[in-house]
A and B are shown apart, each in its own frame.
Chain A
Amino acid sequence: MSTAATASAPNHTQPAVSVEHITVAYGAQVVIDDVSLTLPPAQIIGLIGPNGAGKTTLLKAIVGAQRVLKGQVRVLGQPINAVRQRVAYVPQRGDVDWSFPLSVLDVVLMGRYGRLGLWRRPGSHDRELALHALEQVRLVKRRSCQIGELSGGQQQRVFLARALVQEADLLLLDEPFNGIDTTTQSVIFDLLCAQRRLGRTVFLSTHDLHSVEQNCDQLVAFNRRVVAFGPVDQVFTGPVLHSTFGSNVAVVGEHQTLVIRQ
Chain B
Amino acid sequence: MPNLFELQTYLEPLRLHLVQRGLLAALIVAILCGVMGAFVVTRGLAFLGDALGHAVFPGVVIAYLLNFNLLAGGLVAGVLTTIGISLVSRSRQIRESTAIGIFYTVMFAFGALLLQQSRSASAALSELLIGNVLAVRTEDLVLTGSIGAVVLLIVGVMYKELVLVSFDPALAAALGRNVPLTNALLFVLLGVTIVAALQTVGNVLVVALLVVPAATARLVAKPLPAIMGVAAVIGALATVSGVYISYYANIASGGAIVLCACLVFFFTLLVQAGRDRWQRRGAQ
Contacts and interface: CB of A to CB of B under 8 A. Distances in A.
User: Do A and B come from the same complex?
Assistant: yes
Given A100-B224, A110-B167, 10 more contacts: A87-B174, A89-B170, A89-B171, A91-B168, A95-B168, A101-B218, A102-B163, A107-B167, A114-B176, A121-B160
Given A26-B92, A27-B92, A118-B161, A100 B174 contact: no
B222 interface: yes
A114 B160 contact: no
Contacts of A101: 42, 218, 221-224, 227
Given A101-B227, A103-B223, A81 B176 contact: yes
A252 interface: no
A84 interface: yes
Contact of B164 (A26, A64, A65, A113): A113
25 contacts: A60-B173, A60-B174, A63-B173, A63-B174, A64-B173, A65-B170, A65-B174, A84-B176, A96-B168, A96-B170, A97-B42, A97-B167, A100-B166, A100-B167, A101-B218, A102-B167, A103-B222, A103-B223, A107-B167, A110-B171, A113-B164, A113-B175, A114-B176, A119-B157, A121-B160
Nearest to B44: A97
Query: What is the size category of the interface that chain B forms with chain A?
Result: 20 to 34
B173 A65 contact: yes
B8 interface: no
Interface string A114-138: 1010110110000000000000000
A100 B176 contact: no
B38 to A, nearest CB: 8
Given A27-B92, A27-B93, A101-B42, A146 B222 contact: yes
Nearest to A121: B160
Interface of A: 26-27, 60, 63-65, 81, 84, 87, 89, 91, 95-97, 100-103, 106-107, 110, 113-114, 116, 118-119, 121-122, 146, 162
Contacts of A97: 42, 167
Give chain A's interface secondary structure class: mixed
Contacts of A121: 160
Contacts of B170: 60, 65, 89, 91, 95-96
Interface in B146-167: 157-158, 160-161, 163-164, 166-167
Contacts of B161: 113, 118
- Of the candidates B158, B173, B175, B177, the one having the most CB atoms from chain A within 10 angstroms of its own CB is B175
Contacts of A87: 174
B259 to A, nearest CB: 27
Interface in B114-155: none
B272 to A, nearest CB: 16
Contacts of A119: 157
Nearest to B173: A65
A102 B224 contact: yes
B229 to A, nearest CB: 12
A96 B175 contact: no
B223 A102 contact: yes
Nearest to A95: B170
A96 B171 CA distance: 10
